[in-house]
């Protein structure tokens, strides 16, 4: 640790930092283009020229690139030296030679690094009178607009795309002053983190194609610190709104979670709040009405009933909304749960319980430092940013092992990847547990992939066990936590939950209440069901039962901001604010409570769930406490986290581990040879599925089957098959895929819903000739 002298100011530096990093750390700007904190120094743009005075007084000062020159104690650096200024001015003048006259119609204008640097360093007028070089553009899909003329060849895009996000369909072509950044052929960028190119590019080559359709300048956007609602990672975002509509979402750095990047689901999924079919007026029996009439209707229904009342919260609804619904149900003597799927409920509670026992899940920054990981299921769809963190770990040499049933993009970086059918996953995990517990894995004679996984986990300095909860059973969760205990304290355990607030929802839901509620509705004991942000009727595994059960209800009261199957079937529908239109708290996969702020208001009156519940209680003659004190009663010393802060881990009473023998585990596994697996992709999520731009990239609906088992059953690649589940059948074409487990058919979520089967349930297959 020493100090460099930057224009006469002594600035401390960390060993190994270069001059540019040292200056940026001290909030002193040295003009630069190609340096990026995540991508490092390259020295391609030549803009960060500084003058360095050697310690040896006999030597003349020299101009060097700040991003390539290591900081040394006592080093004399000058940014303002005439020689350095001249170099920077010439660099900008050269970069501007071919830059098109586009600023008025360029979406980057106003937040353009090139604009800023030209104003800071460059000559005010163009001297060059020659002709400009031009490039053709490419169609990069519905999310990213390409305007190659504006390129300044800083290589940030390919360094992010290829080196950081490990994508392989964007690269540099040609040579000299004609270097071209693009795909080999037109087509959407395949990487789930491609949207970051918009922020990484210092000029307007890659711009947000969704924002472009309804463009506003950055100075006109209303912003407030927010949290991404699309998965349990809880990335910090900065949504921008104007004129009562949400326009875009950008990354907001969090030191331990998302530092520079967010995934495309977080960046483009926000369009759900602008969906044309979004309910904006309260509805009673299908007709639009006022908020007070709807509250009156709901209150009179609840008052008139003698039966029990059910309250179904949600994993994507904030902590306040769930807690207020629970408080109302406590007052009315009803049942509350946040899960419509009992299997998901037990798995999530088991996962939260095991995290409470073993220790908190690692942050993304910690995940990047691990050197071995065991990954159960598909993380790219269930927690995209954990996928990106694991890609960084892989770049540093971490060994990634996979146990998965359906294709997962991350498996291409696997050291060991084993496809396991959903029903055998628990057995395989137990085998791994036995191997590790026996302590003999390393010397085991049989060199199977499983012993490789055991050896890499046991040999690792820091290892990680992680699973996607949606495709796991509670037995698998408990086996994985036993595995983590067996591996010792250097092993971290984490789960990718389904829903931004799944951790918080699990803390509020008593074990077994989901199945109790479903059975009570089926038996006609519950006649009124309040659903807040959940979609029981659109559930894949239990949707059929819920749809049948809901016919017994006298009133289905739904609070939601999207038009789900449940919202469509609602007797009384309260449209509520989407996440940018209200403040709240989400608890992420680590148990970190993070607050998000209201970004803007729509012209329509859209209350949040907590507000509707409070008003409903008032109409019923009950008075509920305000959300902060309700939460304070549940979690001791709980303070609502301030939006824009890093959040803090929640201290909650420890959850009991649910009994592993779940009544709703696979019952009819032996009847059929085929089982269903969820084939997910990164845009596949309840809210994001209402975002048209993202949905344009949905993979083609096919039935993916492993080739050998398909050929054994006489199924050809491309042939048609008819799949039959509990609630319907569907004809799909077959696509062979090596990444599907034997005896498993991997199908998309909407197909699972239509068939009425869940991940791991059995399917009937019939060949269509």
Partner 1 sequence: MNKKQTNNYTLALIKGLGRSLWAVLRHAFVKRETVSYPDIKRTLPSRWRGRIVLTRDPDGEERCVACYLCSAVCPVDCIHLQARQNGDGRRYPETFSIDFSRCIFCGFCEEACPTLAIQLTPDFEMCERHHESLVYEKNQLLIDGQGKHPGYNFYRHAGVAIPGKAIGEAEGDTPPVDRDNNLP
* Residue 174 binds to partner 1 (criterion: CB under 8 A): yes
- Options 9, 29, 97, 134; binder of partner 1; rule CB under 8 A: 134
Q: How far is the CB of 220 from partner 1 (least distance, A)?
A: 7
How far is the C-alpha of 733 from the C-alpha of 39, rounded, in Å?
42
Largest CA distance in the chain: 96
Q: How far is the CB of 186 from partner 1 (least distance, A)?
A: 11
* Residue 101 binds to partner 1 (criterion: CB under 8 A): yes
- Options 72, 93, 102, 522; binder of partner 1; rule CB under 8 A: 102
Element (H, E) at 459: helix 449-459
Eight-class DSSP state of 556:
E
484: nearest Cα among 346, 369, 373, 371: 373
- Options 38, 68, 171, 180; binder of partner 1; rule CB under 8 A: 180
Which residues between 232 and 271 bind partner 1 (CB under 8 A)?
Answer: 243
* Residue 629 binds to partner 1 (criterion: CB under 8 A): no
- Quick check: 601 and 582 in contact, CB under 8 A? no
Residue closer to partner 1 by CB (options 247, 749) is 247
* Residue 153 binds to partner 1 (criterion: CB under 8 A): no
Name the burial class of residue 176, with classes exposed (0-12), middle (13-18) and buried (19+) by CB atoms within 10 angstroms of its CB: exposed
One symbol per residue from 54 to 93: x for binding partner 1 (CB under 8 A), - otherwise; what is it? ----------------------------------------
Own/partner long-range contacts of 655-659 (Cβ < 8 Å, ≥24 apart)? 655/349, 655/352, 655/353, 655/356, 655/506, 655/507, 655/511, 656/353, 656/511, 657/350, 657/353, 657/354, 657/357, 657/478, 658/346, 658/349, 658/350, 658/353, 658/474, 658/511, 658/512
Q: How far is the CB of 107 from partner 1 (least distance, A)?
A: 9
Residue closer to partner 1 by CB (options 219, 636) is 219
Residue closer to partner 1 by CB (options 29, 243) is 243
How far is the C-alpha of 695 from the C-alpha of 277, rounded, in Å?
15
Name the burial class of residue 559, with classes exposed (0-12), middle (13-18) and buried (19+) by CB atoms within 10 angstroms of its CB: buried
Residues 6+ apart with CB under 8 A from 149: 98, 99, 100, 102, 132, 134, 135, 137
- Options 132, 303, 551, 716; binder of partner 1; rule CB under 8 A: 132
Stretch that binds partner 1, among 125-133, 425-433, 718-726, 753-761 (CB under 8 A): 125-133
Residue closer to partner 1 by CB (options 127, 131) is 131
Eight-class DSSP state of 524:
T
749: nearest Cα among 674, 676, 678, 675: 678
Q: How far is the CB of 96 from partner 1 (least distance, A)?
A: 13
* Residue 178 binds to partner 1 (criterion: CB under 8 A): yes
Residue closer to partner 1 by CB (options 147, 264) is 147
How far is the C-alpha of 331 from the C-alpha of 321, rounded, in Å?
15
Per rule CB under 8 A, count of chain residues that contact partner 1: 34
- Options 8, 104, 333, 621; binder of partner 1; rule CB under 8 A: 104
- Quick check: 622 and 331 in contact, CB under 8 A? yes
* Residue 119 binds to partner 1 (criterion: CB under 8 A): no
555: nearest Cα among 533, 528, 581, 576: 528
- Options 175, 277, 661, 769; binder of partner 1; rule CB under 8 A: 175
* Residue 619 binds to partner 1 (criterion: CB under 8 A): no
* Residue 126 binds to partner 1 (criterion: CB under 8 A): no
Within 10 angstroms of residue 129's Cβ, the number of other Cβ atoms is 5
* Residue 125 binds to partner 1 (criterion: CB under 8 A): no
Q: How far is the CB of 144 from partner 1 (least distance, A)?
A: 14
- Options 88, 146, 150, 270; binder of partner 1; rule CB under 8 A: 150
- Options 85, 89, 137, 729; binder of partner 1; rule CB under 8 A: 137
Residue closer to partner 1 by CB (options 14, 174) is 174
Residues linked to residue 288 through DSSP beta bridges, in sequence order: 283
- The C-alpha angle 389, 390, 396, rounded to 5 degrees, equals 100
* Residue 100 binds to partner 1 (criterion: CB under 8 A): yes
Eight-class DSSP state of 70:
B
To which residue do tokens 């924002």 refer?
211
* Residue 303 binds to partner 1 (criterion: CB under 8 A): no
Residue closer to partner 1 by CB (options 185, 671) is 185
Which residues between 195 and 214 bind partner 1 (CB under 8 A)?
Answer: 212-214
**Residue ranges binding partner 1 (CB under 8 A):** 100-105, 109, 130-137, 147, 149-150, 173-176, 178, 180, 182, 212-217, 219-220, 243
């Amino acid at each position: 640790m020493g100090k460099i002298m930057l224009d006469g100011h002594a600035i401390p530096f960390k060993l190994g930092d270069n001059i540019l990093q040292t200056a940026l750390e001290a909030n002193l700007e040295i003009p630069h283009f190609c340096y990026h904190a995540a991508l490092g120094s390259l020295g391609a743009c030549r803009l960060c020229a500084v003058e360095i005075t050697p310690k040896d007084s006999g030597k003349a000062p020299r101009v060097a690139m700040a991003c390539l020159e290591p900081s040394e104690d006592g080093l004399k650096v000058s940014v303002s030296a005439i020689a350095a200024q001249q170099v920077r001015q010439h660099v900008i003048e050269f970069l501007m030679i071919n830059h098109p006259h586009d600023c008025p119609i360029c979406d980057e204008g106003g937040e353009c690094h090139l604009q800023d640097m030209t104003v800071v360093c460059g000559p005010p007028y163009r001297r060059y009178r020659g002709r400009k070089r031009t490039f053709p553009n490419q169609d990069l899909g519905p999310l990213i607009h390409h305007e190659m003329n504006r390129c300044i060849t800083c290589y940030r895009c390919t360094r992010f795309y290829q080196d950081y996000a490990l994508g392989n369909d964007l690269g540099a072509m040609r040579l000299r002053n004609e270097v071209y950044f693009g795909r080999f052929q037109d087509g959407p960028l395949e990487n789930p983190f491609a949207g970051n190119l918009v922020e990484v590019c210092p000029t307007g080559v890659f711009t947000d194609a969704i924002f472009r359709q309804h463009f506003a300048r950055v100075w006109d956007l209303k912003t407030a610190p927010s949290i991404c609602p699309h998965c349990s990672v809880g990335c910090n975002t900065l949504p921008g709104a104007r004129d009562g509509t949400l326009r875009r979402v950008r990354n907001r750095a969090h030191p331990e979670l998302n530092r520079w990047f967010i995934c495309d689901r977080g960046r483009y999924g926000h369009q759900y709040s602008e969906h044309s079919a979004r309910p904006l007026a309260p509805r009673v029996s299908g007709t639009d009405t006022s908020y007070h009439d709807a509250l009156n209707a709901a209150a009179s229904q609840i008052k008139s009933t003698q039966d029990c009342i059910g309250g179904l919260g949600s994993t994507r609804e904030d902590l306040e909304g769930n807690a207020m619904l629970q408080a109302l149900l406590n007052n009315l003597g009803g049942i509350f749960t946040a899960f419509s799927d009992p299997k998901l409920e037990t798995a999530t509670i088991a996962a939260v319980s095991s995290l409470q026992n073993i220790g908190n899940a690692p942050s993304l920054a910690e995940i990047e430092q691990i050197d071995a990981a065991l990954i159960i299921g598909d993380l790219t769809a269930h927690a995209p940013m954990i996928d990106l963190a694991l890609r960084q770990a892989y770049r540093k040499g971490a060994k990634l092992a996979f146990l998965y049933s359906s294709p997962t993009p991350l498996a291409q970086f696997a050291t060991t990847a084993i496809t396991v059918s959903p029903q055998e996953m628990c057995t395989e995990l137990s085998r791994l547990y036995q191997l590790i517990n026996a302590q003999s894995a390393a010397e085991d004679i049989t060199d199977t992939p499983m012993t490789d996984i055991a050896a890499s986990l046991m040999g690792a300095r820091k290892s990680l066990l992680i699973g996607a909860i949606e495709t796991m059973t509670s037995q698998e969760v408990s086996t994985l936590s036993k595995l983590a205990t067996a591996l010792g304290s250097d092993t971290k355990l984490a789960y990718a939950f389904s829903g931004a607030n799944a951790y918080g929802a699990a803390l509020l839901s008593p074990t077994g209440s989901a199945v109790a509620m479903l059975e009570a509705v089926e038996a006609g004991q519950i006649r009124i069901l309040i659903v807040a942000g959940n979609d029981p009727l659109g559930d894949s595994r239990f949707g059929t039962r819920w749809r049948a059960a809901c016919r017994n209800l006298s009133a289905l009261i739904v609070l939601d901001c999207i038009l789900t199957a449940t919202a469509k079937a609602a007797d009384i529908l309260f449209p509520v604010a989407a996440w940018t239109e209200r403040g709240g708290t989400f608890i992420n996969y680590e148990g970190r409570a993070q607050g998000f702020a209201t970004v803007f208001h729509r012209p329509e009156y859209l209350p949040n769930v907590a507000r509707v519940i409070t008003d409903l209680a008032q109409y019923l003659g009950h008075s509920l406490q305000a959300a902060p004190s309700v939460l304070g009663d549940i979690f001791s010393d709980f303070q609502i986290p301030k939006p824009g802060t890093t959040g803090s881990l929640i201290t909650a009473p420890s959850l009991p581990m649910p009994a592993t023998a779940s009544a709703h585990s696979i019952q009819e596994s032996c009847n059929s040879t085929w089982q269903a697996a969820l084939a997910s992709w990164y845009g596949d999520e309840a809210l994001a599925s209402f975002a048209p731009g993202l949905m344009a990239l949905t993979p083609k609906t096919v039935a993916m089957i492993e080739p050998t088992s398909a050929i054994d059953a006489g199924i050809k690649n491309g042939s048609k098959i008819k799949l039959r589940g509990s609630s319907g059948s569907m004809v799909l074409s077959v696509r062979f895929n090596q990444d599907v487990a034997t005896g498993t058919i991997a199908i998309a979520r909407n197909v699972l819903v239509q068939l009425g089967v869940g991940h791991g349930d059995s399917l009937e297959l019939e060949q269509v000739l």
